[in-house]
Chain A
Amino acid sequence: MTEAAARQGISRRQVLKGAGNVGLVLAFDLTGYALARGGQEPGTVNAWFRIAPSGEVTIYVNSTDLGQGSQSGMAQVMADELGVAWEKVSVAQAPIDKTFFGHDDSYYTGGSGAIEDQWNNIRRVAAQARMMLVEAAAKRWSVSAVGCVARDGTVHHTATGRSATYGELTPRASKLSPPRDPVLKTPDQWVLIGRSVPRTDVPLKVNGRAKYAIDVQQPGMLNAAVAQCPIHGGRLIEWNESAAMATAGVVKVVRLPTWTTSYFPNMCMQETVGVVAQHYWQAAKGLAALAPKWAPPKEGVLSTQRIFDTLRQDAAGDGNTGDGVTALTVVREGDLEVVQRKLVDAAFASHSRVIEAMYEVPLVAHATMEPMTAVARWLGARLEIWTGTQAQLTLKQVAAQQFRIRESDVTVNTTLAGGGFGRRYYPDSAMQAAQIAQVMQAPVKVIWSRSEDIQHDLWRPPAVARFRAAISDKGEVAAVKMQQARICLFSADNRYSKGMHYAWPSFLAQFTIRPLRPVPHSYGAWRAVEDTPQFFFLESFVDELAHATGVDPLQYRKRLMSKDLRTVRLLEAVERLSDWSRPLAPGHGRGVAVSSRRNVAQVAEVSVAGNTVTVERVVCAFDCGTAINPDSIVAQGEGSILFGLSAALFGQVTFKDGRVEQANFDTFPVVQLKHCPKIEIHTVNTPAAPSGVGEPMTGMIAPAVTNAIFAATGRRIRALPVAASGMTVAA
């Protein structure tokens, strides 16, 4: 974990697990990895590298391939430090063993942390391996290691011209003790870091050979289709088991009870019925024949209207909580709450002009392309799981907890994941596979239908925020106060306050969190977690203040962050690259959004014809610190923007009579190629440590687009998505 993250007082893992109650601080281990061990097996220098006699190097990485490129990126960093050619490198998933525990002393992929949090440690283990290879060569030649140079998989002794390959040296190197203080390469010595080398995972993804959980095959494996109670919190009341069993290939109908786990306080598994068959299509047909009927819970059903009525009421209040509601106050980094409260109260008491606005974001689904899928089998009391999980260690822990077995009796095999975005942090489908496999005493693959995937997601939680600004007689902002209402909040600590980068004379943010009652349903981390609600709220209101005070929105932001030169440079970059000051045709508009915490600025350009919006162009400037793989960063920028754009334009999950109204890509539309704006990613390299790249560019696009729509039309969209605001999106 980085020092910066440590200062934030909350771990990424904690954020992803979700805190119904905020302010908890997780104790984490800053000592980093256990010292890389000497080779346990022939061909290993230390646990992270296997070097074949031919010089081929396998690098073990503790990150899941979700498409974000961090396996390849980690390997690129480690290969550079080790001193091997990229062509010789292949990547393998590291065992789920303490040796490979990374950020937060766990084994998971999330929070854009694979490289950002492990930057020092992965270079350290690679440098240790390199120094052990050099020492092995020095010993072999009875010379001093100082005169030896490691390069391109070979150690050279400069004075005598001798050389030996890593492949030759590995058996001897593996018997040496790793140096305690390995010397890391300096940036001028890097040959791979900073280069757009081809990603290791790409070739298998163009010929159909990449293996995801859905492709796992085990001898004697059965396939299961599941239906989870569609009225959250309800129960199964009627089903036609004989019709299901009469379906060709069906071998069993399985009922699974509702369950929860202390590891994920915001996850509640619904009552489930599964049909098991030889083939998946038979299972799906059997499930249709089973025709399960469900009764709503006594407490009442989920209602979009009621969720938002409650949140609006809480947002309209003043942090006045009531039963079971958590209240939390956040100030900007460096501010004192008691002082800010006084200043804000005084400003609102003395200035009568107030600008006020209320914003809303809906629930959204992840809708990964591969629906939730897992394979499980039991060997006696030992459980083996195959899935594209983002949280290997927690999956083991949850399985051990639920089945009352030892963690060491749970084996998790990580497959490629057909999209993650936070969704595969959660153990639901893997646990279903394990439950059904236990009943069947055979390997079982569970594949969720698309409707199960959307309707039983751990959705991005809904949020409502009310902003108020007191305006002085001179027309300047004297105070800003935000009241935000949530059902579930992922981290509103200093991570959030660092996002509150505007130098208004006073600022106070209050949150109320009203937990999951009365009906249990699930919320989860959705790409960039809190960024998409928080930056939509903040960057919309900042825009409103700029317009209300008669200042250009981009200049207004620059002025208010004038002390933050790194961010101002990003604003200047998008100002220049988007031709910000060049007038546009009528019906066109530009909008800007920026985050100093994420070091991202974006300008969106839209055109609006009648009521129909087209997002024409997005310009993004991103300061990622040291760039590992520039092309991969651009790819993540494109992907982040389009993922955020799907939610901004279309994304919403709503309930009718307690049932989710969206079921597939027709009712839960996402951005397609036809909606795709021209995207320009401009990366700014600073000599700082690398930041993660999978998340930071996600949260700016919604406010950039709605701010652009305002610029084009004078119409302010305060509730997402755009398509539910009375506007349509051009096809």
Chain B
Amino acid sequence: MNFTIKVNGRSWTVEAEEDTPLLWVLREHCGLTGTKFGCGMGLCGACTVHVSGDPARSCVTPVSAVKGADITTIEGLSGSADQLHPLQKAWIAEQVPQCGYCQSGMIMTAAALLRQKPHPTDGDITQAITNVCRCGTYPRIRRAIHRAAAE
């Protein structure tokens, strides 16, 4: 089937089965590989993108469910290729990533949190960041979110 989806402000017509998770459409049809596959069950959050501004785990979001929605991926978060989102700047300042694989999902989750709560408490952060990082970057993620919120 053909689907038209809007990703990072650009429209794409893709041919895929309707149950195809948005994750694989983004990665293989749109070539936006910053969004990662980690668990396939919506458990780890490596695939987090924004659908109409809300964080969504794209590995369990069928492409048929996001027709017409505004989708934002890590590649489109800052709004322009040569700019960084405040969270991305904070991520560099705090030297958050280790292997880096989960970080797109972490940053997208954090960005959705900051949109809802520009000055989140530690409790807000704990509640929002349910993503998995095996390298153990959690302490720096917390610090980077606070740093971005303060700027």
Contact = CB atoms under 8 A, between A and B. Distances in A.
A67 interface: yes
Interface of A: 65-69, 198-199, 201-212, 214-215, 217, 223, 248-249, 279-282, 284-285, 367-371, 416-421, 447, 449-450, 631-632, 635, 638-643, 646, 664-666, 670-674, 676, 679
B120 interface: no
A369 B46 contact: yes
Nearest to A449: B40
Contacts of A646: 134
A673 B36 contact: no
Interface string B112-151: 0000000000000110011111111111111000000000
B99 A641 contact: no
B33 A211 contact: yes
Contact of B101 (A419, A447, A643): A419
A67 B84 CA distance: 22
Given A206-B107, A279-B16, A450-B39, A640 B136 contact: yes
Given A206-B97, A369-B99, A643 B41 contact: no
Contact of A638 (B38, B44, B73, B136): B136
22 contacts: A67-B100, A206-B100, A206-B103, A207-B88, A208-B73, A208-B74, A208-B75, A217-B31, A280-B28, A281-B24, A284-B40, A369-B44, A370-B99, A449-B40, A638-B136, A638-B138, A641-B136, A643-B134, A646-B134, A665-B41, A672-B129, A676-B138
Interface string B100-114: 111110010000000
B98 A68 contact: yes
Contacts of A285: 17, 19
B104 A208 contact: yes
A67 B37 contact: no
Contacts of A202: 91-92, 95-97, 100
B60 interface: no
A507 B37 CA distance: 49
B34 A203 contact: no
B65 interface: no
B37 to A, nearest CB: 6
Given A207-B84, A281-B24, A631 B95 contact: yes
Given A635-B95, A674-B126, A212 B142 contact: no
Given A202-B95, A202-B100, 14 more contacts: A201-B97, A202-B91, A206-B100, A214-B33, A285-B19, A369-B38, A369-B132, A418-B100, A421-B134, A642-B138, A671-B138, A672-B129, A673-B138, A676-B138
Contact of A280 (B19, B24, B35, B74): B24
Interface string B52-67: 0000000000000000
A72 to B, nearest CB: 10
A672 B130 contact: yes
Contacts of A199: 95
Contacts of B99: 65-67, 368-370, 416-420
Contact of A210 (B39, B95, B100, B126): B100
Contacts of B92: 198, 202-203, 206
Contacts of A666: 41, 43
Contacts of A670: 132, 134
